[in-house]
Chains A and B, each alone.
Chain A
């Protein structure tokens, strides 16, 4: 009997017993649903974390020189208190580091605080107030939608100009172009010179509610104690160059802080990798637990299919006898029942794939969590589902193939 013939026959048998088939494939169905669904979510999170989260917070080939890491996960109290006792990064530190770097880099100062922004009696509360130098926009890849960023001169002079985030601009200036108008931050007027392109959101939090003013403008009093900067951002052209820049930064800072060789750094250099550490710890747990759960569901699914197939062989002993009397060889019968078990499992797996994709899309629609269905997971779902069918079908099918035709024909 031809292989396609066996598959056709198997599908016919499944169609003839829809309900029974659905129940027998339910284990594989659940396993594959979970495989696809969980994989899509973890995969989506992964991509989100590497591409957006880390990129947004730190940037590619970029590190931040800070008093302590900004993004942390599971930090002990004592460590936290030690971080708080460290000296802050001073303007002078930032300048010295910038001068001490020999690899080609782009640097910017950055400080942030929270406050409200006013225009014409309208108040926008809980806005991120950012004091930065001019290259900040390049490094963070903030494109100007309208107007311009500030110039090196404005940055050095600390001119009272400001660039608005998209949402903030929409809120304060619903009808007019904000460029050229004046907003008040903590009572002081700043001239709006530009609006940044829409950034979207990160895990549901808007990234467009901010103002950026020159680090040396009066905004410095709203974000930090005098002469203190939150971070010096250094962007290199490549990963090795970034590493070198980090070494140079460390050397400059250690000498400025008069640290002896035995003493640890009392400052932090944070890279996107460091931010990702947090996520990696979490995803490692998911990747360890996920396959275990999928495996259990598939093993149970396989056992169910094996039982169903053993029952089918017992029920259809006479059919097997008839087929043998008409010239079916052992391998024909083997193939028929293997195809049936495999088709059963594959149908379950296919339903699982569809449901898994639907679940992950539903989750994406209802929550800020992203999902990304990996094509590989679909292939794996089909292969694993079909594989379970083959493994589960081997024993029942070989029992069917070994039946004695005379005894099988005698069966009522």
Chain B
């Protein structure tokens, strides 16, 4: 399962490959000193895979997340998302990809504090250019799907940590993205709530959602079907595990 396609520069990924990185590298210029955060990561993720990315701090997993999430562009290498080469797109084109193809779930939830749960979930739809009525309908449906149908008018500070993370999941999924990208989603939650959240992720995976999750907790990574470990900017291990 590790080597899905022998990819060479100039090739196009197979149709069921959602994420394909080829010798992806990212250097940072830290005041004259070049830090090589990623040194050639080649990774392929199929539709409906559930992948955990692990590794110690400084291993490059955040950099990989930013690249896969189209928040950053690589120094070298290729990145194909859903059959489209995105590694050399412009700022605005990347914004569009983030809007349509990627749903983010962050460790710190990253909800707008002054907006209601409903408005927070509406945000991606605003940037997608949907009319107001449709937006509200979609957002309400997404909130109901994560079990917060009765909390739509609450602001983030009126919700518990688990509920906030559910709002964030509803927001991530409201545009039906190709991948759900979770960065330490349980980092700010207690173990009971974490377990609940993993339940939600498991359900989504069973419904066909592709999930990529960065974590440093082994028991959280255990929920994923495949674990990729990074070390010093390269992939150290990539293995499937029994569900």
Residue positions of A touching B, CB distance < 8 A: 1-2, 5, 16, 318-319, 321-332, 405-406, 409
- The complex places the Cα of A156 from the Cα of B126 at a distance, in Å, of 88
Assess whether A325 is in contact with B114, with CB atoms less than 8 Å apart: no
Contacts A405-B71, A406-B71, A409-B110; A326 near B124 (Cβ below 8 A): yes
User: When the two chains form their complex, are residues B69 and A1 in contact, meaning their CB atoms are under 8 A apart?
Assistant: no
Counting residue pairs across A and B whose Cβ atoms lie within 8 Å, the total is: 60
* A326–B98 CB distance below 8 A: yes
Q: Which residues in A have their C-beta under 8 angstroms from that of B129?
A: 1-2
3 closest residue pairs by CB, A with B: A327-B99, A327-B127, A329-B95
Instruction: Give B78-116 interface residues, CB cut-off 8 Å to A.
Output: 91-92, 95-96, 98-100, 104, 106, 110-112, 114
Q: A325-B98, A326-B99, A330-B92 are in contact. List 14 more A-B contacts (CB 8 A).
A: A1-B127, A2-B126, A325-B69, A325-B104, A327-B95, A327-B96, A327-B99, A327-B127, A328-B127, A329-B95, A331-B92, A405-B71, A406-B71, A409-B106
Per DSSP, chain A at the interface is helix
* A406 in complex: contacting residue of B72, B99, B110, B127, CB < 8 Å: B72
Q: Which residues of B contact A325 (CB under 8 A)?
A: 69, 71, 98, 104, 110
With a cutoff of 8 Å between Cβ atoms, the chain A residues found around residue B110 in the complex are: 318, 321-322, 325, 409
Report the minimal beta-carbon distance from B118 to chain A, rounded to whole angstroms.
14
Contacts of B126 in A (CB 8 A): 1-2, 5
B66 interfacial contact with A, CB 8 Å:
yes
Cβ B106 vs Cβ A328 within 8 A: no
Please tell me the size bucket of the interface on B: 20 to 34
Query: In angstroms, how far is the closest chain B Cβ from the Cβ of A87?
Result: 85
Q: Contact check: which of A327, A331, A405 meets B128 at CB < 8 Å? A: A327
Nearest chain A CB to B186 CB, angstrom units: 18
Interface centre among A2, A16, A327, A332 (most CB of B within 10 A): A327
Contact of B171 with A by CB under 8 A: yes
Q: How far is the CB of A401 from chain B (nearest CB, A)?
A: 10
Q: Which of B71, B72, B111, B128 has the most CB of A within 10 A?
A: B71
Find chain B residues with CB under 8 A from A328 CB.
95, 127
Q: Is the CB of A329 within 8 A of B114?
A: no
Provide the residues of chain B in CB contact with A324, threshold 8 Å.
71, 95, 98
